[in-house]
A and B are shown apart, each in its own frame.
Chain A
Amino acid sequence: DVKVTQSSRYLVKRTGEKVFLECVQDMDHENMFWYRQDPGLGLRLIYFSYDVKMKEKGDIPEGYSVSREKKERFSLILESASTNQTSMYLCASSDTPYQETQYFGPGTRLLVL
């Protein structure tokens, strides 16, 4: 069974704080993704990575950065959290860019006050 875990289910932070969201997958997948999910909107891709130390911007990278120092771990960083970054953050992984299935973690619900 593929397992994608995220460091926190719920997080409350203050405006201006630096926030780290961690994602770990145990299936040796090449590709990892960070999305945010907001009511009434589809999942929106923030960043993705096809290999260690490699990152590509998605559709909404502004205000975020990522780190992939090890294959199994992909971190999302909010350099200076703002209230409009209050959202559900979902991490996913897949074996190749063309694989049918992305496997998702349980999500981190972030509230920025």
Chain B
Amino acid sequence: GQNIDQPTEMTATEGAIVQINCTYQTSGFNGLFWYQQHAGEAPTFLSYNVLDGLEEKGRFSSFLSRSKGYSYLLLKELQMKDSASYLCAVRGSNYQLIWGAGTKLIIKP
């Protein structure tokens, strides 16, 4: 079957760095996405990886290893507004997105 795993909840301190992991088993791979979703709001696009390696975008970076079925989202210089759920999604062989359940990130002062 197809599966996306990510931790349910993580806690970090303002100003620190946090890494949110995502592992996947899918039939086919056509890219991995990270979305941010604040409570009660729509998911918004953060990053897209289709090749191995690190993609950096300001305070956020995303890494992909296709051979390991693994990705992480790295958030630096954490701010209180980064408190949100982070959703990992893989585009499979039929080009539809398969979603993880999301990681709720709690930032403490």
Across the interface, do B42 and A98 meet the contact criterion of CB distance under 8 Å? no
Question: Could you tell me the distance between the alpha carbons of A43 and B90 in the complex, rounded to whole angstroms?
Answer: 12
The A contact surface, by secondary structure, is loop
Across the interface, do A97 and B42 meet the contact criterion of CB distance under 8 Å? no
Question: Could you tell me the distance between the alpha carbons of A45 and B2 in the complex, rounded to whole angstroms?
Answer: 14
Across the interface, do B42 and A45 meet the contact criterion of CB distance under 8 Å? no
Bin chain B's interface residue count.
20 to 34
Nearest CB in chain A to that of B4: its residue: A42
Q: Cβ of A82: which chain B residues have Cβ within 8 Å of it?
A: none
Say yes or no: is A24 at the interface (Cβ < 8 Å to chain B): no
Across the interface, do B42 and A105 meet the contact criterion of CB distance under 8 Å? yes
The B contact surface, by secondary structure, is loop
Known: A104-B43, A106-B42. A41 touches B97 (CB 8 A): no
Across the interface, do B87 and A106 meet the contact criterion of CB distance under 8 Å? no
Cβ < 8 Å to B, chain A residues 99-113? 100-107
Q: How far is the CB of B69 from chain A (nearest CB, A)?
A: 16
Known: A100-B31, A100-B33, A100-B48. A42 touches B99 (CB 8 A): yes
Across the interface, do A102 and B45 meet the contact criterion of CB distance under 8 Å? yes
- Can you list 16 residue pairs at the A/B interface with Cβ under 8 Å? A42-B98, A42-B99, A42-B102, A43-B87, A43-B99, A44-B99, A48-B96, A90-B42, A100-B31, A100-B45, A101-B45, A101-B48, A102-B45, A103-B45, A104-B42, A106-B42
